[in-house]
């Protein structure tokens, strides 16, 4: 056994069995060791941003970390945007980052970099295994750290000589931390404040939006208290039989208008809501003036237990409202719009499906009809770094091979990680990719006006338009190995999406809107 074997054996011993990889020379010992441990599934990604986003999707669906295999500092740098999203989603991920041999670092070879500094901002734990006998213990420490709570990406740096030299240690089993329940005092304080408030609202985030937490939150809704979630959620069940809270509005002025009169805001697995961006003469903090704020459970604590205790303290009913099953009886007709596509998606989405949403301005057209579709999970863009729709879908499909996965993307977003299509084809993943092609960074057109920058002129328009030349999405998808179709009408999209849900394997649909 060498250091690379010790690492993989320890990861497998801790149920880390998926590796999304883009290796280089310094990682060849790890690659070789994969042949000696078939329990670890290697998935090649042609760009590191696909690998890191896939690990995020896997972790969101399993609540266990996958590992990535990245080539030194530049390889990690290529995957940073989706690790930013993963950090905001509190997803456990083990980043294995190859490095030069310990004795070679001093020579400052062309690929040499300060890896600990590069990885630090988006890692909740960083350590370099500088000897082969330290690898197993450090790997177990990395696994434990990735769980948090609340969890997040960690970075284990593996020098080449630590990987190739003999290791005498056995695999080490990690200690997985357990969330503590909120104190009884915290529950009592919140319950007393809610009883005294004229218009209280509970704001849910992270673990508080999972299925078991929403069951408890529905009890509070049944008792007459308003429940909202953060705008962007790592994973949330949706559809028939599920309690659907309201959602914090994206634009700050809309959020404050929606919260008008609220005199108490209770945080459950989240913190003070703020505007996504600053705008001239508009507030940053989305809490109404004079509103009291309290925390029922922090992100580190058990929000399920906290919500259950609060519901009991307030004498809430044993159960609360859930969504009915209601989809359109007939297929939509006419020009293809996000709303028409949403009707078809809701009609044919099977129970247990997973939607990975990076559709930006088109997403609302899908969310509304899918609120009463068959029950499914939604993975959202938590950190605002677009280009995660395809990678998330890869990870979700590897994690849940028996579930249909639907990846919703804006055309600008999809181009960030278009290499994900190749991995879907190679792995024969059951993913249907929908790209809403409006040939524009439409969200930036909206934001330009909101920032007070005026209407775009000829030069500005060049940075907001994707139509010259128009991307031939069907050719791109077919070139990367996916069967693809372009839909220009609601009828065409309805047929294409129905077929994609009825047949196994990867599919690509360009929705020309």
State whether 143 and 213 are in the same domain.
no
pLDDT at 475 over 80: yes
Q: Is residue 176 part of a domain?
A: no
State whether 299 and 361 are in the same domain.
no
pLDDT level of residue 447 (50, 70, 90 thresholds): confident
Check residue 489 and give its pLDDT.
Answer: 98
Taking the C-alpha atoms of residue 106 and residue 110, their distance in angstroms, rounded to an integer, is 12
Domain limit, last residue, from 298, 313, 328? 313
For 414-441, b where at least 16 C-beta lie within 10 A, e where not — what string?
A: bbbbbbbbbbbbebebbbbbbbbbbbbb
pLDDT at 163 over 80: yes
CATH no. for residue 416? 3.40.50.970
CATH no. for residue 259? 3.40.50.1220
pLDDT digits (tens, 9 = 90+) for 348-360: 999 999 999 999 8
Residue 471's CB: how many other CB atoms inside 10 A? Answer: 18
Number of domains present in the structure of the chain: 3
pLDDT level of residue 442 (50, 70, 90 thresholds): low
Q: Is residue 327 part of a domain?
A: no
Please report, rounded to a whole number, the percentage of residues in the chain having pLDDT higher than 70: 99
Across the range 133-155, mean pLDDT stands at 98
3 state DSSP class of 199 = coil
Q: Is residue 265 part of a domain?
A: yes
For 186-221, b where at least 16 C-beta lie within 10 A, e where not — what string?
A: bbeebbebbeebeebbbbbbbbbbbeebbbbbbbbb
pLDDT digits (tens, 9 = 90+) for 208-265: 999 999 999 999 999 999 999 999 999 999 999 999 999 999 999 999 999 999 999 9
State whether 397 and 504 are in the same domain.
yes
Q: Give me the domain span that covers residue 222.
A: 184-313
Q: For 75-113, what is the HEC assignment?
A: HHHHCHHHHHHHHHHCCCEEEEEEECCCCCHHHCCCCCC
pLDDT at 420 over 90: yes
State whether 379 and 465 are in the same domain.
yes
- CB-based contacts of 34, cutoff 8 Å, min separation 6: 8, 19, 40, 42
Asked if residue 413 lies in contact with residue 386, where contact means CB atoms within 8 angstroms, the answer is yes
State whether 223 and 278 are in the same domain.
yes
Q: Is residue 325 part of a domain?
A: no
pLDDT digits (tens, 9 = 90+) for 366-376: 999 999 999 99
Across the range 138-149, mean pLDDT stands at 98
pLDDT at 16 over 80: yes
Domain limit, last residue, from 135, 164, 193? 164
Q: Is residue 324 part of a domain?
A: no
Q: Is residue 75 part of a domain?
A: yes
State whether 505 and 469 are in the same domain.
yes
Mean of the per-residue pLDDT values of the chain? 96
pLDDT at 451 over 80: no
Check residue 465 and give its pLDDT.
Answer: 82
pLDDT at 430 over 70: yes
Q: Is residue 112 part of a domain?
A: yes
State whether 160 and 188 are in the same domain.
no
Of residues 281 and 36, more confidence is placed in: 36
pLDDT digits (tens, 9 = 90+) for 291-348: 999 999 999 999 999 999 999 999 999 999 999 999 999 999 999 999 999 999 999 9
Full-model pTM: 0.96
Check residue 181 and give its pLDDT.
Answer: 98
Q: Mark out the alpha helices in 299-388 (DSSP H runs).
A: 303-313, 338-348, 363-370
Across the range 62-70, mean pLDDT stands at 98
pLDDT level of residue 468 (50, 70, 90 thresholds): confident
State whether 354 and 488 are in the same domain.
yes
Check residue 443 and give its pLDDT.
Answer: 74
Domain limit, last residue, from 103, 133, 164? 164
Backbone angles phi, psi at 202, to 5 degrees: -105, 135
State whether 403 and 302 are in the same domain.
no
Asked if residue 402 lies in contact with residue 429, where contact means CB atoms within 8 angstroms, the answer is no
Of residues 361 and 168, more confidence is placed in: 168
Which element (helix H / strand E) includes 188? helix 184-196
On the CB side of 419, CA atoms within 13 Å amount to: 17
State whether 158 and 207 are in the same domain.
no
Supply the DSSP symbol for 26. G
pLDDT at 80 over 90: yes
pLDDT at 417 over 70: yes
Closest CA to 229 of 206, 259, 203: 203
State whether 306 and 394 are in the same domain.
no
Q: Among 34-43, 221-230, 394-403, 447-456, which stretch is predicted with the lowest mean pLDDT?
A: 447-456
Q: At what angle do helices 211-222 and 303-313 cross, to 10 degrees?
A: 20
3 state DSSP class of 194 = helix
Across the range 385-409, mean pLDDT stands at 98
State whether 379 and 295 are in the same domain.
no
Q: Is residue 328 part of a domain?
A: no
Asked if residue 356 lies in contact with residue 435, where contact means CB atoms within 8 angstroms, the answer is no
pLDDT digits (tens, 9 = 90+) for 184-223: 999 999 999 999 999 999 999 999 999 999 999 999 999 9
Residue 46's CB: how many other CB atoms inside 10 A? Answer: 17
- CB-based contacts of 489, cutoff 8 Å, min separation 6: 333, 334, 335, 336
């Amino acid at each position: 056994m060498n250091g690379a074997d010790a690492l993989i054996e320890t990861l497998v011993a801790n149920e880390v069995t998926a590796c999304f990889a883009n290796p280089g020379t310094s990682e060849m010992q790890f690659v070789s060791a994969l042949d000696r441990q078939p329990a670890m599934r290697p998935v090649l990604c042609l760009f590191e941003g696909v690998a890191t986003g896939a690990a995020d999707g896997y972790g969101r669906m399993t609540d266990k970390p996958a590992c990535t295999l990245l080539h030194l500092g530049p390889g990690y740098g290529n995957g940073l945007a989706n690790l930013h999203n993963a950090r905001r989603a509190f997803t456990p991920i083990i980043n294995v980052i190859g490095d030069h041999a310990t004795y070679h670092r001093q020579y400052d070879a062309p690929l040499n970099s300060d890896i600990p500094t590069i990885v630090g901002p988006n890692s909740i734990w960083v350590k370099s295994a500088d000897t082969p006998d330290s690898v197993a213990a450090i790997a177990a420490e990395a696994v434990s750290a990735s769980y948090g709570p609340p969890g997040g990406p960690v970075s284990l740096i593996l020098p080449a000589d630590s990987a190739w030299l003999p290791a005498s240690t056995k695999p080490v089993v990690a200690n997985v931390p357990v969330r503590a329940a909120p104190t009884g005092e915290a529950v009592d304080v919140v319950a007393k404040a809610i009883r005294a408030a004229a218009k209280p609202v509970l704001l849910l985030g992270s673990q508080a939006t999972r299925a078991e937490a929403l069951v408890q939150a529905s009890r509070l809704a049944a008792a007459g208290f308003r429940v909202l979630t953060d705008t962007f959620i790592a994973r949330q069940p949706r559809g028939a039989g599920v309690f659907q809270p309201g959602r914090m509005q994206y634009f700050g002025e809309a959020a404050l208008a929606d919260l008008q009169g609220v005199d108490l805001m209770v945080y459950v697995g989240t913190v003070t809501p703020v505007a996504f961006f600053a705008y001239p003469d508009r507030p940053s903090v989305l809490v109404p003036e004079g509103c009291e704020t309290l925390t029922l459970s922090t992100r580190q604590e058990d929000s399920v237990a906290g919500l259950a205790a609060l519901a009991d303290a307030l004498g809430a009913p044993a159960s609360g409202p859930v969504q009915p099953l209601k989809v359109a009886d007939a297929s939509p007709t006419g020009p293809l719009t996000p709303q028409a596509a949403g009707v078809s998606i809701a009609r044919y989405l099977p129970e247990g499906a997973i939607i990975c949403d990076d559709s930006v301005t088109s997403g609302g057209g899908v969310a509304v009809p899918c609120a009463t579709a068959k029950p499914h999970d939604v993975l959202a863009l938590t950190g605002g770094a677009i280009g995660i729709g395809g990678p998330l879908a890869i990870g979700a499909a590897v994690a849940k091979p028996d579930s249909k996965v639907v990846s919703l993307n804006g055309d600008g977003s999809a181009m960030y990680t278009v290499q994900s299509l190749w991995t879907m084809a190679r792995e024969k993943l059951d993913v249907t990719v929908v790209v809403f092609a409006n040939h524009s960074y439409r969200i930036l057109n909206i934001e330009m006006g909101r920032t007070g920058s005026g209407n775009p002129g000829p030069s500005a328009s060049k940075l907001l338009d994707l139509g010259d030349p128009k991307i031939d999405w069907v050719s791109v998808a077919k070139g990367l190995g996916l069967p693809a179709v372009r839909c220009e009408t609601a009828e065409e999209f309805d047929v294409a999406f129905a077929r994609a849900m009825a047949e196994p394997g990867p599919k690509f649909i360009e929705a020309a809107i």
